[in-house]
């Protein structure tokens, strides 16, 4: 029963956490649209490998990380600039997206797994995300992390991330095929605006947490 509970809790938290649009999901959608399902699966494999390491690390050292306020502050502030950089990157490539559908090919000289590993490893915002969630779940006794039980929780989170990202990519692909304005407005305008909004929310979080 404890094993099933760990898997289900990990799955739900990770699935819901992976649904909001982020750069990993958007790049996954672009890869799927240009290079197909098998390439997308390899990319997602790279993403979840890094996430497994992050979740295990934050699970073991959750209390120490939460108490390291300087590290958390650096990560939170860096997140603001990272989100702004992503907004600029998607906006600057919007013309390429509409006129040259193979602009991603230059990045795929590397294995999709390597791309997933790299992009997931620079997603520093997942560190405070998983630190906070793991502390909450452990303190609330929603999961048991004694001995081997923690690995079942990690398994659930990885299945949740993989499923959530895959579902969102398919959803975006369905919209792109049925809505003519998707490529014209969503990718070049709405996605950069989304990252700007996320950066503003991150600014507010930093203000309330460290300044106010």
Q: How far is 10 from 33, CA to CA, in rounded Å?
A: 29
Q: How far apart are CA 80 and CA 198, in angstroms?
A: 8
Distances (CA, A) of 111 to 22, 39, 159, 162: 21, 9, 22, 18
Question: What is the rounded distance in angstroms from the CA atom of residue 11 to the CA atom of residue 155?
Answer: 8
Mean predicted lDDT score pLDDT of the chain? 79
For the whole model, what pTM was predicted? 0.73
DSSP string covering 42-64: HHHHHHHHHHHHHHHHHHHSHHH
Closest CA to 23 of 165, 202, 158: 165
pLDDT at residue 63, as a whole number: 65
Beta-strand runs (E) in 74-205: none
Closest CA to 35 of 133, 80, 102: 102
**What is the C-alpha separation between 193 and 90, in angstroms, rounded?**
10
Q: Which of 102, 107, 115 is nearest to 44 (CA)?
A: 115
- Spatial distance between the Cα atoms of 97 and 94, rounded to a whole number of angstroms: 5
The string of pLDDT tens digits covering residues 173-208 is 887 776 655 555 555 676 677 778 878 887 887 888
Q: How far apart are CA 82 and CA 129, in angstroms?
A: 15
How sure is the predictor about 152, in pLDDT bands with cuts at 50, 70 and 90? very high
Burial class of 105 by CB neighbour count within 10 A (0 to 12, 13 to 18, 19+):
exposed
Q: Look-up: residue for tokens 């014209």?
A: 184
Closest-CA residue to 26 (of 160, 130, 142, 182):
182
Model confidence over 16-58: pLDDT tens digits?
878 766 778 888 888 898 888 999 999 999 999 999 999 998 8
Q: Residue 36 region, left (φ>0) first, then alpha (ψ -120 to 50), else beta?
A: left
């Amino acid at each position: 029963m404890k094993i099933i509970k760990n898997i289900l809790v990990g799955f739900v938290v990770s699935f819901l956490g992976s649904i909001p649009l982020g750069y990993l999901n958007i790049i996954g959608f672009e890869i799927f649209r240009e290079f197909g399902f098998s390439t997308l699966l390899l990319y997602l494999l790279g993403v979840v490998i890094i996430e497994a390491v992050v979740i295990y690390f934050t699970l073991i050292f959750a209390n120490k990380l939460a108490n390291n306020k300087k590290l958390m502050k650096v990560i939170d502030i860096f997140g603001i600039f990272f989100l702004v950089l992503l907004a600029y990157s998607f906006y600057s490539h919007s013309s390429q997206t509409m006129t040259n559908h193979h602009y991603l090919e230059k990045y795929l000289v590397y294995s999709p797994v390597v791309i997933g590993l790299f992009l997931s490893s620079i997603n520093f915002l997942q560190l405070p995300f998983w630190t906070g969630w793991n502390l909450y779940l452990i303190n609330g006794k929603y999961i048991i992390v004694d001995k081997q039980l923690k690995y079942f929780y990690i398994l659930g989170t990885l299945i949740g991330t993989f499923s959530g990202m895959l579902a969102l990519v398919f959803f975006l692909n369905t919209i792109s095929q049925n809505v003519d304005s998707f490529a014209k407005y969503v990718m070049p305008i709405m996605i950069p605006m989304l990252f700007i909004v996320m950066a503003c929310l991150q600014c507010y979080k930093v203000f309330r947490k460290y300044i106010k």
